[in-house]
């Protein structure tokens, strides 16, 4: 078993646990999630997409308020969180294209935050 397969199995085990927690909070979802366990991962994948898309809304609203192009720090935090959730989904799917894209993207977002925080410390 390679690393991606191993991680995929661990993510799936977490998804089953997460599904159980959701079912405990919302018992009416039990039948649906118990009979369609892959649906929880699809919900997680869409959640990652929503986080990732939100960063553009934040950037757009910040730019409109400033009257110029602005990339707020929140943009990078939403990029990282959305990227990590999408990376988790990609590993579960064992999709090398999305894994490669999101892995590199998350590293770039982290590096940008490093520069932002470094600059603030220097001031």
pLDDT digits (tens, 9 = 90+) for 57-113: 999 999 999 999 999 999 999 999 999 999 999 999 999 999 999 999 999 999 999
User: Residue 78, exposed/middle/buried by CB under 10 A (0-12, 13-18, 19+)?
Assistant: buried
Q: What is the pTM of this model?
A: 0.82
With pLDDT > 90 as the criterion, what percentage of the chain qualifies? 65
Per the rule left: phi > 0, alpha: psi between -120 and 50, beta: everything else, 58 is: alpha
* Predicted pLDDT of residue 19: 84
């Amino acid at each position: 078993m390679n690393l991606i397969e191993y991680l995929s199995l661990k993510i799936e085990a977490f998804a089953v646990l997460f599904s159980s927690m959701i079912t405990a909070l919302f018992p009416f979802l039990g039948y649906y999630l118990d009979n369609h366990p892959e649906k929880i991962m699809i919900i997680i994948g869409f959640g990652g997409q929503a986080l990732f898309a939100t960063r553009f809304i934040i950037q757009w609203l910040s730019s409109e308020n400033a009257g110029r192009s602005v990339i707020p720090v929140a943009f990078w935090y939403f990029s990282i969180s959305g990227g990590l959730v999408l990376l988790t989904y990609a590993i579960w799917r064992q999709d090398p294209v999305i894994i490669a894209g999101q892995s590199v993207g998350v590293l770039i977002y982290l590096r940008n935050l490093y520069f932002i925080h470094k600059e603030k410390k220097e001031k």
